[in-house]
């Protein structure tokens, strides 16, 4: 029964996070991109801080190490990741499926940054091959036109790639700091400070609340992203992280594009191109090669193939 419960929660998380890309594209019709991301985390940060206050004995960061961890989370995991992602998704060529598949490259990129910042991490020949296959998948997704690199959403897709790289780097640096801070506290404060950074960036870009078109659709997109995708999604994520471990949780990145493509098609009439499917398959193959030892160990631990 527990296994079916975990599977149900896993699919629910993949559906929520996959459809979030559709909600971003829907909301961008009414919000300036960086301001949209900032307001999302204004709300999500308050929700997460309330949750942290409920489950953690001391929800306030203490000491230089914990505040440094919050700073890394705020700058890379929240501000840089979402600013690049939301701006990239303003291009019609960056559909919900394309964005989610590109972001799915982040677990592969994490290995590259881990090699640089975590000396215990090693990248073997097969690991390098997996990395190159994953990057090839990103190239297939971008499908650049050599005669006009600004065409076909190439620049926008590169911004989404930078979002994935920012998230990967942030994930590695938070592991490298390893100050024993409760994850709920770190996420809550990172969201709040990340939102503040994005408000500054939005102001610098000339974005204004006056540009927001307050419609029912705009409020639904904002509410879905802030409360469902961020608040509820992270609660499910933390729960599953304790129950199934980080390897299986990483697989959410490879199931979410299915729900992103489906929700984008149903709600926004977005199409699915052969390049998107090919890029998705290449990134999955790259992930399997890079993480083959961890996947093999996880299967052995669960008695699969024994």
Query: Residue 74 corresponds to which tokens in the numbers above?
Result: 């705020």
What local confidence, expressed as pLDDT, does residue 78 receive? Answer: 93
> Rounded to a whole number, what is the distance in angstroms from the first to the last CA of the chain?
22
pTM recorded for the entire structure: 0.81
Give the model's pLDDT for residue 149: 41
Write the CA distances from 305 to 2, 243, 291, integer angstroms.
21, 21, 18
Contact 47, 231 (CB under 8 A): yes
Helices (H), the chain: 2-27, 33-55, 63-72, 81-88, 96-103, 106-117, 125-142, 154-177, 183-204, 216-223, 233-244, 246-250, 252-268, 274-290, 292-301
Assign 182 a pLDDT band (cuts: 50, 70, 90): confident
Give the CA distances from residue 53 to residues 172, 182, 278, in Å, rounded to whole numbers and listed in that order.
Answer: 26, 11, 44
With cut-offs at 50, 70 and 90, classify the pLDDT of residue 95: confident
Higher pLDDT, 50 or 277: 50
Do residues 52 and 188 make contact, with C-beta atoms less than 8 angstroms apart?
yes
Q: At what angle do helices 96-103 and 154-177 cross, to 10 degrees?
A: 40
Phi (first) and psi of residue 285, to 5 degrees:
-65, -40
Report, as an integer, the average pLDDT of 111-129: 65
* Residue 104 pLDDT > 90: no
Q: Which residue has the higher pLDDT, 92 or 3?
A: 92
Other residues' Cβ atoms within 10 Å of the Cβ of residue 246 = 11
User: Kindly report the CA angle at 275 between 270 and 281, in degrees rounded to 5?
Assistant: 110
Q: Is 80 exceeded by the pLDDT of residue 90?
A: yes
Judge contact between 166 and 80, C-beta under 8 A. Answer: yes
Q: Residue 305: pLDDT band by 50, 70, 90 thresholds?
A: very low
What is the band of 80 on the pLDDT scale with cuts at 50, 70, 90? Answer: very high
- Looking at residues 49-66, what average pLDDT do you find? 89
Mean pLDDT (the chain, rounded): 81
In 10 A of CB 217, how many CB atoms?
A: 13
CA dihedral defined by 88, 91, 92, 97, rounded to 10 degrees?
Answer: -10
Q: Which range has the worst mean pLDDT, 92-96, 109-113, 159-163, 220-224?
A: 109-113
Q: Which residue has the higher pLDDT, 300 or 100?
A: 100
Least confident of 49-53, 191-195, 285-289, 291-295: 291-295
Taking alpha carbons only, the member of 103, 77, 89, 107 closest to residue 246 is 107
Q: How many CB atoms lie within 10 A of CB 18?
A: 25
């Amino acid at each position: 029964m527990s296994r079916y419960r975990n599977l149900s929660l896993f699919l629910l998380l993949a559906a929520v996070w996959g459809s979030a890309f559709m909600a971003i594209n829907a909301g961008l019709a009414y919000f300036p991109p960086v301001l949209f991301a900032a307001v999302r985390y204004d709300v999500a940060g308050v929700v997460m801080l309330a949750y942290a206050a409920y489950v953690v004995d001391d929800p306030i960061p203490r000491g230089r190490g914990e505040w440094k961890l919050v700073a890394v989370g705020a700058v890379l995991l929240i501000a840089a990741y979402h600013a690049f992602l939301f701006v990239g998704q303003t291009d019609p060529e960056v559909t919900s499926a394309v964005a989610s598949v590109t972001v799915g490259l982040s677990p592969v990129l994490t290995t590259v940054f881990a090699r640089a910042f975590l000396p215990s991490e090693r990248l073997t020949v097969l690991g390098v091959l997996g990395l190159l296959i994953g990057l090839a998948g990103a190239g297939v997704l971008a499908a650049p036109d050599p005669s006009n690199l600004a065409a076909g959403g190439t620049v926008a897709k590169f911004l989404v790639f930078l979002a994935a790289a920012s998230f990967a780097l942030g994930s590695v640096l938070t592991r490298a700091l390893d100050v024993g801070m409760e994850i709920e506290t770190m996420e809550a404060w990172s969201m709040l400070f990340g939102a503040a950074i994005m408000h500054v960036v939005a102001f610098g870009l000339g974005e204004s609340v006056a540009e927001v078109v307050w419609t029912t659709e705009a409020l639904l997109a904002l509410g879905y992203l802030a409360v469902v995708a961020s608040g509820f999604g992270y609660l499910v994520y933390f729960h599953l992280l304790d129950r199934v471990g980080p390897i299986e949780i990483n697989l959410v990145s490879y199931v979410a594009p299915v729900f992103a493509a489906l929700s984008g098609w149903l709600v926004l009439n977005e199409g699915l191109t052969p390049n998107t499917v090919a890029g998705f398959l290449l990134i999955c193959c790259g992930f399997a090669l890079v993480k083959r030892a961890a996947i093999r160990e996880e299967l052995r631990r669960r008695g699969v193939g024994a």
